[in-house]
Amino acid sequence: MSGLLFLVFPVLGGYALTSLYLLRNPQLLHRRKRTAFHSRHISHRGGCGERIENTMEAFQKSVQGLGTELIELDCHLTADGHVIVSHDKNLLRQTGHDVDVSSLNLQDLPLYKERLEVTFNAGFSGADRKFALLEDLFRKFPRMPVNVEIKELNCRLIQKVSELVRRYGREHITVWASADHSILRTCRRENPSMPYSFSMRRGVLLLLLFYSGLLPFVPLGESFLQFYLIPKYKDSNHLRPPRLTMRPSLFRHLAARGIQVHLFVCNEERDMETALGLGATGVMTDYPTRLTNFLSRLRPQEADPR
């Protein structure tokens, strides 16, 4: 028994040291991913804390007025086959009408409420209350990267999104995203040229690989990790992120492999500061003006790591 332990301990020690070294130097095993864009400033639902979510008014303010570098949005399909930008499948929260997008033709979609409550804050009012078409967004902002989250396994919707991406030559700047692994797998089959993010299942696997020491040895196809920043406030000024998931060494490893780490939803400056301090390469917010002002106050070398 003692002889076996004499052999096991050096092997485990060597494995641990090798894993740690490769965690810090992943370029020795993996070629760095080269995405067509790098996003520090990300507008969640177009910036739904400042304009009604996912409207052209919100997108235009974030892109042209505040210099956002990535728009995050969700899509659904109308009964007559139009891809609209909408977070919810059912429109009760957004419009007050208890109907699904898929049951209505485009011309029959109700308007957004005059003042819209959102998931992470009180929301905002705006002049534009119309649902935006994904095609109109692509046409209006042809060079703006867009993160498209698909929330339902709807092959027709996925096919339509892919067709629009191809039609407007956006495969390099449009991201497939979904928490559901089966949905994301279907998206990738439909258009494998588009970069994609981690699903929930793959995110859990990523953590298991990290804690087991296997991560440095495993190839990763994803180009983005988009993760909730779940803050725990000890007092009014001190934020303590959960230690299990918010690991700077993990985020640094991914960034060194060219995988962007986006933390959301960061609506207070202390959230933004914590996200960047943890090693996030991008910050997603409902308040793009706050993020713009926050980033502008950083030292030049901190504001843009590229």
138-151 pLDDT per residue, tens: 999 999 999 999 99
The values of phi and psi at residue 57, to 5°, are -60, -45
Determine which of 28-32, 235-239, 249-253, 285-289 has the lowest per-residue pLDDT on average: 235-239
Determine which of 86-90, 214-218, 228-232, 286-290 has the lowest per-residue pLDDT on average: 228-232
Split at pLDDT 50, 70, 90, the class of 115 is confident
CA angle 267-85-53, nearest 5°?
30
Going from the C-alpha of 222 to that of each of 23, 180, 190, 193, the distances in angstroms are 17, 14, 16, 12
Mean pLDDT, range 204-210, rounded to an integer: 97
Q: Which residue has the higher pLDDT, 59 or 237?
A: 59
Query: Would you state the pLDDT for residue 229?
Result: 86
Residue 216 · residue 187 · CB < 8 Å: no
> Treating both helix axes as pointing N-terminal to C-terminal, what angle do 288-296 and 269-278 enclose, rounded to 10 degrees?
60
Split at pLDDT 50, 70, 90, the class of 122 is low
How high does pLDDT run on average in the chain? Answer: 90
For the chain, what percent of residues have pLDDT higher than 70? 87
**Burial zone of 259 (CB within 10 Å; 0-12 exposed, 13-18 middle, 19+ buried):** buried
User: Taking the domain 36-303, which CATH number applies?
Assistant: 3.20.20.190
* Tokens coding 41: 């400033």
For the chain, what percent of residues have pLDDT higher than 90? 80
Residue whose entry in the numeric block shows the structure tokens 């703006």:
144
Of 241, 223, 227, 224, the residue nearest 277 (C-alpha)? 241
- Residue burial 274-287, b: 16+ Cβ < 10 Å; e: rest: bbbebbbbbbbbbb
Query: Would you state the pLDDT for residue 9?
Result: 59
Query: Would you state the pLDDT for residue 124?
Result: 60
Query: Would you state the pLDDT for residue 126?
Result: 73
Q: How far apart are CA 203 and CA 262, in angstroms?
A: 13
Q: What is the pTM of this model?
A: 0.91
**Burial zone of 178 (CB within 10 Å; 0-12 exposed, 13-18 middle, 19+ buried):** buried
**Burial zone of 136 (CB within 10 Å; 0-12 exposed, 13-18 middle, 19+ buried):** middle
Alpha carbon 59 to its chain's center: 16
Residue whose entry in the numeric block shows the structure tokens 């490893």:
253
Split at pLDDT 50, 70, 90, the class of 234 is very low
Mean pLDDT, range 285-293, rounded to an integer: 96
Query: Would you state the pLDDT for residue 244?
Result: 81
Q: How far apart are CA 53 and CA 240, in angstroms?
A: 29
